[in-house]
Amino acid sequence: MTIQCFICATCLDPVDSRRDAQFHEFYLAEHKKLAQKEDLGLVILQNGCLFATSGLPVLRNPLVKSVAYNWLLCDSNCTADYWVFLPEDCRITARGWATIRRHIKKNKICFALSRDPKVLICRTGIFSQVSEELKILCDMNFLGKEIACVLLRDELARHDFHCISNSWTKVSKSPDRWGNALYEEMNLPNHPDVNKALKLPIFQDYGIDGWKASTAELEQLFLKVVRSGLERQMAVAQQFKGMIAKNGPRITEVPYKGMLRRLRDWVFR
């Protein structure tokens, strides 16, 4: 069974593009070292960011896309039997890769390396039966990291989705890093908080920590986040609505008139 690893890089500093690129280039260098040891095929997901990838294949989103959308992107573009979704600031250990391969040999369809599914391993095609309506919901970028990934959990659950390690503990205080024997965070000391930098919604912003709320409260809050995002999109639509009437159905003039054609028209006018 073959494995393709998708390294997900998301814009960390929307103001300073050079500083942003330096973060990504550091993480990519670390992943390349590990990929050589494990004989892995890497694909880079660039979400609203741009940096040198040393010739590695790239799937680039001009905007920061939701986690769920990136999972769909991995599943649609994977050319191997299995794909691994790996945030750029996380590192899978040698033991982690050995464990992944062992579970794949057991024909496990999908699993994560901890209870917090930052690192997701799936058989290619797992999301092929997801409805168009749910895919549209996954494409709502304003749902952010925390909320959007839950949209596909039912589909994962149909294939006995599970974590293969219950451990997820703090491995470093300065910088603040978490991990287990299979993988760990490797974020730099000055690694920005993506949610704050990109103003992505998390339930803590609404006074709910750790999803500790009733079903009705979580559902209402989810709809509130969606409503807020749609209102922002409507405001943008209002701002640019004049472009529709101004430009009409054509993007360019037809037929095109080059310099010689315009000169001839002027001579024989």
Query: Are the C-beta atoms of 61 and 45 separated by less than 8 Å?
Result: yes
| pLDDT at residue 253, rounded to an integer | 62
Could you give the CA distance from residue 53 to residue 64 in angstroms, rounded to a whole number?
18
DSSP assigned state of 64: P
| DSSP class per residue in 80-128 | SSEEEEEETTEEE-HHHHHHHHHHHHTT--EEESSSSTTSEEEETTTTT
Tokens of 186: 């490797």
What is the full per-residue pLDDT of the chain (269 aa) written as tens digits?
A: 899 999 999 999 888 999 999 999 999 999 988 877 777 889 999 999 999 998 899 999 998 888 999 999 999 999 999 999 999 999 999 999 999 999 999 999 999 998 877 899 999 999 999 999 999 999 988 887 778 888 899 999 999 999 998 888 888 887 778 889 999 998 888 887 777 777 877 787 777 877 788 889 889 988 998 999 899 999 999 998 888 777 766 666 656 666 777 777 767 66
β-strands 177-179, 162-163 pairing: unpaired
- List all residues 6 or more positions away from 221 whose beta carbon is below 8 Å from its beta carbon: 203, 206, 208, 213
Query: What DSSP element (H or E) covers 58?
Result: strand 58-61
Q: How far apart are CA 105 and CA 125, in angstroms?
A: 17
- The structural domains of the chain, ordered by start, are 3-199 (3.90.550.10), 202-269 (no CATH)
Q: For residues 49 and 60, give the distance between their C-alpha atoms in angstroms, rounded to a whole number.
A: 8
CB contact set of 218 (below 8 Å; sequence gap of 6+): 203, 208, 211
Q: What is the CB neighbour count within 10 angstroms for residue 150?
A: 15
* Structure confidence at residue 117 (pLDDT): 73
- pTM comes to 0.86
Residue that has been written with the tokens 């970028």 in this structure: 141
